[in-house]
Structure 1
Amino acid sequence: MKHKKITLTGVALLAAGALALTGCSTSSNEKPDAEKGSSNVDASAIIKVNGSEPQNPLIPTNTNETGGGKILDAIFAGLIGYAADGAVFNEVAEDIKVDDPQNITVKLRKGLKFTNGEEVTADNFIKAWNYGALASNEQLSSYFFEDIEGFSYEEDSELTGLKQVDEHTFTIKLNKPASDFAQRLGYSAYYPLPDVAFEDMEAFGQNPIGNGPYMLDGEGAWQHDVGINLVTNPDYDGPSKPANGGLNIVFYASQDSAYADLLGDQLDVLDAVPDSAFGSYEADLGDRAVNQPAAIFQSFTIPERLEHFSGEEGNLRRQAISMAINRKEITDVIFQGTRTPASDFTSPVIDGWTDELKGAEVLDYNEKKAKELWAEADKISPWSGTFQIAYNADGGHQAWVDATTNSIKNTLGIDASGAPYPTFAELRGKVTDRTIETAFRTGWQADYPGLYNFLGPLYATNAGSNDGDYSSKEFDKLLSDGISETDPAAANKLYQEAQEVLLKDLPVVPLWYSNVVGGYGKTVENVKFGWNSVPIFSEIEKTKAE
């Protein structure tokens, strides 16, 4: 018997709060139907895909980057999941009832297990969320529990808003209305953890035990800086049951190496074609080439703690640097139609996006104005040194960083260059511990399909992904008012006003919106890339060898 699917507003255009404001319960645990490929499928075949070394041990509440997130999303299952088009479906949840904008009741499906045989219960969610929220645990995703009653940044405090009703039911009480909270519950910060995790969390992170469609392929499955091998979880009972035998996620040193493997039939799916192949990949791959919009925003951050970038001087220099970048030329020449110059801090595929924000002219290339602003800053304190943008060399960023810094150099007449780090993990380590001494590349791949997700986690005071330590009472107030608003249109208006504050302060310098530009091999079928650019791994099929 078919159950009603949870659908918000269609292809990645998801109104924040659409789920939370229905006032009714959700009751489907069926994923939207996938189109199946040929019958000549090897259900045991391993799918080889690209990835990157996670920054940290694989603990859901301490992973906020794409390398680790891609793995966690394969080995864990949350209360809800997101289909390729952004539609929401129940995963571990049997029913999520939004009683009002501050109270939610969650009922779990019975009989679900972690891969060590432990049953998934309400307590597994409550304990995991409390661990993630505890101040002394210093988890990167603690911000995602901020709206739950009892949360504190300053001291260890129990999330008193989480109450177990019975073994498979718990309630969530928020400390303020958060109209899209139910929509967030598929993000990795909200995954459950088995009891064994709390015996030694660091050791658990090296060999995580999940409840999702895949699991680690035994001891030694994760070879650091090389790759990680996953196999299907035989006990998984959910809507994302794999059509393959597992995943071999390879941590490539460069995107060029990954693309060469794809062309040589040594890689099945690639989600990031290198810029060196933008002019040829569609001819190389034919109908196996992928170029589609995704909820990805790219930027770079200039920490306020750097010399010349605090106070009024810093504000002037950020504006000058932003207006010294010829985004259209860079996206045309370097990215060849796979990027679009940014006009805000979110993504055009998310409901509420607009290109008519006040102050957005700071994102336009304006050589004359950039020089004037730089000269004003020099009157406060004469410029000295070199302006650099740090990036990870294993991610295919050199070309755009060089083009961006050259644009800044030529416009402002200063020394500017890229500062490469060998790996993403090394770069993120410097960013996270605040020891990086230059500007650095940043960006956002949405956690869930809502406008707030591009703003709160990155720019709210104390937010876990607020890499520049930005803080604005005006911005925080507009953000808080927006998330408390029960009318999605009114909420989006407040988010737009909040972005106008960001355009004045430029906590990051917006660059462009990214398409997912990828491709897949000749022997795989039913390859789909989701609204957030990640392939839907469980649906990929591989044909039998002849």
Structure 2
Amino acid sequence: MSRGPVLTRRDGLKGALGAAALATLAACGGGDDDSGSGDGASSSSGGSGGDVVANGTEPQNPLVPTNTNEVGGGRLLDSLWAGLVYYKADGTPENDLADSIETTDAQNYTIKIKSGQKFSDGSAVTAKSFVDAWNYGALGTNAQLSSYFFEPIAGYPEVQADPPTAQTMSGLKVVDDTTFTVALLQPESDFPLRLGYSAFYPLPDTAYADIKAYGENPVGNGPYKLKETGAWQHNVRIDFVKNDGYDGPRKAQNDTLAFVFYETYDAAYSDLQSGNLDVLDNIPSSALATYQDDLGDGAVNQPAAIFQSFCIPEGLAGFSGEEGKLRRQAFSYAFDRAQICKTIFNDTRTPAKDFSSPVIAGYSETVEGNEVLSLDADKAKQLWEQANAIAPWNGSTFTIAYNVDGDHQAWVDAVTAAIRQVLGIQAEGKPYPTFAQIRTEITNRTISGAFRTGWQADYPGLYNFLAPIYATGAGSNDGDYTNPAFDELLTKASGTTDQDAANKILQQAQTILFADLPVIPLWYSNASGGFDKDAKNVQFGWNSVPLYYQITKS
């Protein structure tokens, strides 16, 4: 799972989405302390805003930006680092470290960063800090989970070769301390929009001596830094303090920020009600029917760029080729998404109609083939028998793995019960105690059945909901799905400089996904959370993550 609304062309962001004009993502000074302004930034220099405690989950890996592609680690990265751009509460991109991002053809970019920027250890953030970090992330021998994000850059195939025929990408050039250029393999209509994602963060020179050790005690350049050595108590909590060296639009308004890693959301919700937790980003299913009454003005329920699904790996017995396609379709027809959203999630979820999110430009409820997302028990049985005509079902129990600390048991039980009833096979959930544990087995391809998946957008674009998850060899392609026709449409869309035209191509690509079902779409999640009465300026962003840096405590 990785970690939105329409991209708004502001402050000269034109060439990124239009072929002719010069694109400049100009600097923005942000807004004020009022979280209701919707810009997610504060022009204040930061003050004594108290000590804020939020919920979190133990990251899968040490905190290296190019090797973190899940939500638990992502929220930590976004607090410790500043990138070229950041996303305001509504998903609008604004400059953070970038002074300008310019292009005349959406293929060759000149990026200038603000001078005088520093990492939390006092070392300078330069153009080289970005170029070196991107080259490290792209190099195949470094096996970084987010290497796929550098695929558009010229020279990526050479550094990904086995063995690499180059150590650095030819498309990256340092011009001077504050300027570097990026040459892409083809025009990419939303490349500047991607640059707020954590894979594009800079690294200090000291990181490369021992990258794993660095990830355990990371040095970033963002609103916060680690409280002290040992501040990360694995599986317990991590503590940040305000980084006074950061002088960007996301300057921390509180003094400290702690993330507590709860075993369950029920435990976190209990702490929120008792005043031991200031902000909770997800309400447990046990409290969905009552939390808005319980929390009053502290309750949050708003659309977000989150897509939920479960994945049946291509290599799982009985699920490859035409047989597998039929069985996946049968499962998809076998359960009632709307009923689950109502009875289990109290309408804080919306049944899926496509593979993206209603808050993303290009979302459509009428993509060809999406009837497979409706309940039709007779159709499910017919498809299952067609699959059995190719190869009889092996009689094994179908399992859906899930992490207990993510509050997934209720819907997994409902889906597997429907599969048992409609198809007459044994199906059940397979619980894992933590998100990190299930993600490790998924990443290592040692998981033995289907598993829950989800996508919290990296940046607010339709392409981001498709390419990183379903493109051949993509870093988050957990089911090892591959379809050359789908890949071809992705390439065509990314090279289309008119974003509306590109989104229509991406909708066409989704018709292939509905036929193949590399994952079974479930629903879109709202940002359903809450905050304590003493927490002020709380705002949840386009991707459901609270804007931690602007929260204060009374």
Q: TM-score range by the shorter chain?
A: over 0.9
Q: State the partner residue of 2:432.
A: 421
Q: Is the 8 A contact 1:19 1:182 kept in 2?
A: no
Report the secondary structure of 2:430's partner residue: strand
* Counterpart residue type for residue 553 of structure 2: K
Q: CA deviation at 1:261?
A: 0.3
Say if 2:547 is the partner of 1:542.
Answer: no
Q: State the partner residue of 2:505.
A: 494
* Counterpart residue type for residue 268 of structure 1: D
Q: State the partner residue of 1:8.
A: none
Q: Is the 8 A contact 1:31 1:83 kept in 2?
A: no
Q: State the partner residue of 1:74.
A: 79
Quote the Cα distance in structure 2 between the aligned partners of 1:467 and 1:279. Answer: 33
Deviation per CA, 1:126-154, whole angstroms, max 9, x where unpaired? 00000000000110000000000000232
Q: Is the 8 A contact 1:15 1:352 kept in 2?
A: no
Quote the Cα distance in structure 1 between the aligned partners of 2:47 and 2:499. Answer: 45
Report the secondary structure of 2:283's partner residue: coil
Q: State the partner residue of 2:521.
A: 510
Q: Is the 8 A contact 2:8 2:92 kept in 1?
A: no
Aligned to 1:395, which of 406, 427, 430? 406
User: Number of aligned pairs?
Assistant: 531
Quote the Cα distance in structure 2 between the aligned partners of 1:334 and 1:415. Answer: 22
* Counterpart residue type for residue 452 of structure 2: R
Quote the Cα distance in structure 1 between the aligned partners of 2:57 and 2:70. Answer: 10
Say if 2:18 is the partner of 1:13.
Answer: no
Q: CA deviation at 1:42?
A: 7.3
Q: CA deviation at 1:361?
A: 0.8
Q: CA deviation at 1:23?
A: 2.3
Quote the Cα distance in structure 1 between the aligned partners of 2:99 and 2:385. Answer: 61
Deviation per CA, 1:491-541, whole angstroms, max 9, x where unpaired? 011000000000000000000001010000010111000000000011111
Deviation per CA, 1:88-111, whole angstroms, max 9, x where unpaired? 111011111123110111001011
* Counterpart residue type for residue 27 of structure 2: S
Q: State the partner residue of 2:161.
A: 154
In the TM superposition, 1:435-446 aligns within 5 A as 435-446=446-457
Deviation per CA, 1:235-289, whole angstroms, max 9, x where unpaired? 1111101110121100000000000000000100000000000111001001110
Aligned to 1:359, which of 353, 369, 378? 369
In the TM superposition, 1:156-235 aligns within 5 A as 156=164, 157=166, 158-235=168-245
Q: State the partner residue of 1:522.
A: 533
Q: CA deviation at 1:29?
A: 3.6
Q: Structure 1's 274 and 492: CA in aligned 2 closer, same or farther, altered over 3 A?
A: same
* Counterpart residue type for residue 111 of structure 2: V
Deviation per CA, 1:149-175, whole angstroms, max 9, x where unpaired? 000232323211001111110000001
Q: Is the 8 A contact 1:318 1:509 kept in 2?
A: yes
Task: Give aligned-pair identity as a percent.
Answer: 56
Q: Is the 8 A contact 1:43 1:542 kept in 2?
A: no
Quote the Cα distance in structure 2 between the aligned partners of 1:234 and 1:26. Answer: 26
Q: State the partner residue of 2:40.
A: none
Q: State the partner residue of 1:62.
A: 67
Q: State the partner residue of 1:267.
A: 277
Quote the Cα distance in structure 2 between the aligned partners of 1:151 and 1:115. Answer: 30
* Counterpart residue type for residue 536 of structure 1: L
Q: Structure 1's 36 and 138: CA in aligned 2 closer, same or farther, altered over 3 A?
A: closer
Q: State the partner residue of 1:52.
A: 57
Q: Is the 8 A contact 1:19 1:180 kept in 2?
A: no
Q: CA deviation at 1:489?
A: 1.3
Deviation per CA, 1:332-380, whole angstroms, max 9, x where unpaired? 1001110011011000100110011111111111000000000111111
Q: Structure 1's 342 and 15: CA in aligned 2 closer, same or farther, altered over 3 A?
A: farther
Say if 2:444 is the partner of 1:433.
Answer: yes
Say if 2:487 is the partner of 1:476.
Answer: yes
* Counterpart residue type for residue 26 of structure 1: L
* Counterpart residue type for residue 529 of structure 2: G
Report the secondary structure of 2:149's partner residue: helix
Q: State the partner residue of 1:95.
A: 100
Q: State the partner residue of 1:121.
A: 126
Say if 2:112 is the partner of 1:107.
Answer: yes
Quote the Cα distance in structure 1 between the aligned partners of 2:482 and 2:225. Answer: 40
Q: Is the 8 A contact 2:82 2:96 kept in 1?
A: yes
* Counterpart residue type for residue 428 of structure 1: R
Aligned to 1:306, which of 308, 316, 319? 316
Quote the Cα distance in structure 2 between the aligned partners of 1:19 and 1:414. Answer: 54
Report the secondary structure of 1:343's partner residue: coil
Report the secondary structure of 1:144's partner residue: helix
Q: State the partner residue of 1:449.
A: 460
Report the secondary structure of 1:512's partner residue: strand
Q: Which moved more, 1:16-25 or 1:298-307?
A: 16-25
Q: CA deviation at 1:12?
A: 1.6
Quote the Cα distance in structure 2 between the aligned partners of 1:469 and 1:36. Answer: 41
Report the secondary structure of 1:68's partner residue: helix
Q: Is the 8 A contact 2:82 2:201 kept in 1?
A: yes
Q: Is the 8 A contact 2:35 2:538 kept in 1?
A: no
Give the root-mean-square deviation of aligned CA atoms. 1.5
Q: State the partner residue of 2:257.
A: 247
* Counterpart residue type for residue 473 of structure 2: N
Q: CA deviation at 1:44?
A: 4.6
Quote the Cα distance in structure 1 between the aligned partners of 2:35 and 2:412. Answer: 41
Q: CA deviation at 1:19?
A: 6.3
Q: CA deviation at 1:34?
A: 4.2
Q: Is the 8 A contact 1:325 1:365 kept in 2?
A: yes
* Counterpart residue type for residue 30 of structure 2: K
Q: CA deviation at 1:407?
A: 1.2
Q: State the partner residue of 2:41.
A: none
Q: Structure 1's 51 and 219: CA in aligned 2 closer, same or farther, altered over 3 A?
A: same
Gaps of 5+ in 1: 1-10
Gaps of 5+ in 2: 37-43
Quote the Cα distance in structure 1 between the aligned partners of 2:112 and 2:82. Answer: 15
Q: CA deviation at 1:36?
A: 5.9
Report the secondary structure of 1:204's partner residue: helix
Q: State the partner residue of 1:289.
A: 299
Q: Is the 8 A contact 2:242 2:255 kept in 1?
A: yes
Q: Is the 8 A contact 1:148 1:173 kept in 2?
A: yes
Aligned to 1:458, which of 466, 469, 487? 469
Report the secondary structure of 2:504's partner residue: helix
